[in-house]
Amino acid sequence: MNTKYAYGYVRVSTDKQEELSPESQEKLLREYAKNHNMVLLDIFFEIGVSGRKADKRPEFQKMVSMAKSEDHPVDCILVWKFSRFARNQEESIVYKSLLKKQHSVDVISVTEPLLDGPWGSLIERIIEWMDEYYSINLSNDVLTGMGTKARKEGYQTSPPLGYQAVGEGRPFIINEDEFKIVSYIADQYDNHNRDFTWIARHLNSAGYHTRRGKPFEGRGIERILRNPFYYGLVQWNGIEFIGAHEVRFTKDRFDARIQKMDSKYRPKKRRNVSTCSHWLSGLLKCGTCGASMTYNGANHCPGFQCYKYAKGQHAGSMFISEKKITAAVYEYFEKLFSGMDFEYEYRPEKSSDLEIQVASLKDELRQIEFRESRIRLAFEKGIDSLEEYSENKERLKLSKLEIEKKIEEFSTPSDEKPDKSVVLDQLHTVYDMIKDPCVDYETKGSFMRSLVKDIVYDKEKGQVIFHLYLSKPA
């Protein structure tokens, strides 16, 4: 008997009680391989993932891609049951046909042996149809039960990060270890203006992972920040109610955050600076097609190339070296400071933005008032001397006056376009930052993006065109 090579595929949906555990499925696959003279090269695990859509199963896609490779690594794929491969018969047929006809790779169920020939294929289709029928009907029954429970204000959805279920539809309770992560995310976004990707990166660097043990991603951070469950609202399939679970965030804070997300100006298709590999990444645009120019620092001559050219979507290289574009940026700033005229787009802040800033400043005022009471108490108890008390009181008074002045300014915003001198003052600050070799790329990128909308490189004309904007009130 010739030795065959195989991959194993194990999939378990966490909400299915009738399934074998991943360990049990793996054991069956290994036993089958041993008994049938097969070498099991690798086993791909998909835990807690539905089988209804193949494109939502990354390990499945990875396995199929490897099985299709030119070196033909395997002869077959082993699964516990055909339903593990796919619960959708249409997708099952597509992938099986692709693997079998184009790459001679069979899909074998270790618990559902088939006859050779057309009868075996027919039986396989019947098995898949029965599995799919069962899955659909089970899903309908489950959804009906969940809808009834939701209308009775019961908890049946999976708890978000920071909470854990207690069963029987009772309110979720806080998981203190997880909630520390949620609090950190909210604090960094609400109070420190960190973007989603920055937050994800720093959580990963600190050794934290999602509930499924995977690294955090920017889109996952955004979902957490937009989830109304954290202020008390329970949602399920169009049904909403204020739950009885413990909350640590107010609705006002949530609403302010959503306003901030939805109203904050950001040029279209602009990436977060923390995702970029160079401080000019995301700013450079191709003068021929308008596409972004991506940075490649691995070549002997680091530089930027048009994304569409790199994908073969238009002829002619748009490459510009890092050295050349950096020099062009410096030259542009220096010409501005020497008196060259320029235009800029003014974007006055929306009222919602101003309201958020005023609310934040009022919070600072309340903090100062609290500190005032603390230093007064310290003086009365003899902890601080009269001199120390007077110094602390004066310092807090000056801070209070400064904040009150800002509140007054924000409360009476002007839509009048600021003078160019305002832009020049800010440009000087940006220039100092990008010229400083001690400043990291994220900081340089953030400062550039505060005033530069984009930089268009026109290779044919040999021009670098800068588009500036100002979004803050004068």
In 36-117, which residue ranges form alpha helices assigned H by DSSP?
58-67, 82-85, 89-103
Give residue 455's pLDDT.
93
Give residue 469's pLDDT.
84
Query: How is residue 245 annotated by DSSP?
Result: S
Percent of the chain beyond pLDDT 90? 15
pLDDT, average across residues 374-386 = 79
**pLDDT: which is higher, 240 or 398:** 398
Q: Which helix (H) or strand (E) holds 409?
A: helix 386-411
pLDDT in tens, 197-221: 788 888 988 888 888 788 888 888 9
pLDDT in tens, 115-136: 454 544 544 455 444 544 444 4
Backbone angles phi, psi at 230, to 5 degrees: -70, -15
> Residue 58 pLDDT more than 60?
yes
Count of C-beta atoms within a 10 Å radius of residue 83 = 21
3-state helix, strand, coil in the chain (%, to 5): 50, 15, 35
Q: In this structure, what token pair is assigned to residue 419?
A: 């003078």
pLDDT, average across residues 22-43 = 88
pLDDT, average across residues 33-61 = 76
Alpha carbon of residue 42 to chain centroid: 30
Rounded Cα gap, residues 41 and 94, in angstroms:
24
Q: Are 242 and 233 in contact (CB under 8 A)?
A: yes
> What is the band of 69 on the pLDDT scale with cuts at 50, 70, 90?
confident
Rounded Cα gap, residues 180 and 429, in angstroms:
36
pLDDT, average across residues 299-315 = 80
Rounded Cα gap, residues 195 and 190, in angstroms:
10
Q: Are 122 and 128 in contact (CB under 8 A)?
A: no
Residues 6+ apart with CB under 8 A from 50: 13, 56, 87
pLDDT in tens, 134-178: 444 544 444 444 444 444 445 656 788 999 887 766 788 999 989
DSSP result, 106-146 = EEEESSS---SSHHHHHHHHHHHHHHHHHHHHHHHHHHHHH
Rounded Cα gap, residues 329 and 325, in angstroms:
6
Give residue 224's pLDDT.
93
> What is the band of 185 on the pLDDT scale with cuts at 50, 70, 90?
very high
Bridge partners of 463?
Answer: 458
> Per mean pLDDT, which of 81-95, 104-118, 181-195, 441-455 is the most reliable?
181-195
Antiparallel, parallel or unpaired: β 320-321 and 303-306:
antiparallel
Give residue 412's pLDDT.
58
Query: How is residue 292 annotated by DSSP?
Result: B
Q: In this structure, what token pair is assigned to residue 151?
A: 């209308």
**pLDDT: which is higher, 243 or 39:** 39
pLDDT, average across residues 355-370 = 72
Mean pLDDT of the chain: 77
Give residue 19's pLDDT.
59
